[in-house]
Amino acid sequence: MDRMGRRLVHFTILCAFVVGVGIAAAADLQDRTRRAYDEYAERATRVFVDHARDGASGAASSEPSRSVTIDVRPAREDGILSVPSGLVHHWAGSTFISGVTLQDALDVSFEYGAYHKIYTPVVASKLLGRDGDTYRVLLRIKGSGGGLSAILDVTSRVQYFYPDDRRVYSISTSEDIREITHAGTPSESSRPAGHDSGYLWRAATFNNLIATDEGVFCETETLGLSRSFPTMLGWFIEPIAKRLGRESVHKSLQEFSQAVKARATSRVRGLSLPR
């Protein structure tokens, strides 16, 4: 490696270190940041629900192409939007899972206690309770990027809606997000909500499942609220954050598809077993 190459490597490492130190410092979720996110999330939810109920245009495509395995894109603008003292991350994705039924997809979606076996970022998962079509779920998630890694306990409320017998959509909204320090050790503790590294303060996920004779269309949107990029380092972190946002949705759809296909295979094999 020549001198210029070594300098570039050293500079990149230095930036990553500075980013990690800058973001790891405590950050407070301000009221104006929370209000801006709530207003944005409310609008995004209305658009998604309109689309899921009657096919109105929204961030997700009306019908993903069978020729595209997984399509991921910014749901608004370039996927990261500035709000006062914070950033909204909004991404959308879609895929088609052939040879499965709507019930196969729902069975995987409902299996909250097994999410840590399905999704790579989920370290632990638990169903806290159910009231009809509303579920309360606790997920311990490990996130990383931009020089920072964080362990988060995310408690969410998930509601399912059934417009007809071929369509189901769900809305998952975080109720509490706690950043965990020294996870898995005797000194494990949680930082106060809204006063932590600012890695993730709010989160929501919208899912839309559409049954066809050949399989199931899956559409998803993810929303997240984080602190703003550290001053003077946004140029370095923003491309990383965009790549991670896109990859996160892609990986989630990929792992969901694999789990649904496995469920369908088990169902078919079970039906074919002699009595």
pLDDT at residue 20, rounded to an integer: 45
Highest mean pLDDT among 17-31, 99-113, 189-203, 240-254: 99-113
Q: Which of 176, 179, 198, 200 is nearest to 188 (CA)?
A: 179
pLDDT at residue 58, rounded to an integer: 43
Residues in the chain: 275
pLDDT at residue 149, rounded to an integer: 73
Strand partners, 202: 225
Report how far Cα 96 is from the mean position of its chain's Cα atoms: 18
pLDDT at residue 18, rounded to an integer: 38
What mean pLDDT, rounded, does the chain reach?
84
Is the pLDDT at 15 greater than 60? The verdict is no
Contact call for residues 222 and 248 (beta carbons, < 8 A): yes
User: Please, which pLDDT band fits residue 103 given cuts at 50, 70 and 90?
Assistant: very high
CATH of 3-269, one of 1.20.272.10, 3.30.530.20, 3.50.30.30, 3.30.930.10: 3.30.530.20
Burial 7-19 (b: 16+ CB within 10 A, else e): eeeeeeeebbeeb
* Model confidence pLDDT, tens digit, residues 173-216: 999 999 999 998 999 999 999 889 888 999 999 999 999 999 99
Per domain, the residue ranges of the chain are 3-269
Measure the CA–CA gap between 161 and 179, rounded to whole angstroms. 31
Contact call for residues 83 and 30 (beta carbons, < 8 A): no
* Model confidence pLDDT, tens digit, residues 19-78: 443 444 568 899 999 999 999 999 999 999 999 998 643 444 445 455 558 999 999 999
Which of 31-45, 128-142, 225-239 shows the lowest mean pLDDT across its residues?
225-239
Which of 140-144, 151-155, 231-235, 267-271 shows the lowest mean pLDDT across its residues?
231-235
Model confidence, pTM: 0.83
User: Please, which pLDDT band fits residue 268 given cuts at 50, 70 and 90?
Assistant: confident
* Model confidence pLDDT, tens digit, residues 80-90: 999 999 999 99
Give the helix ranges, DSSP H, for the chain. 3-24, 31-54, 102-110, 115-118, 234-272
pLDDT > 90: percent of the chain: 65
pLDDT at residue 242, rounded to an integer: 78
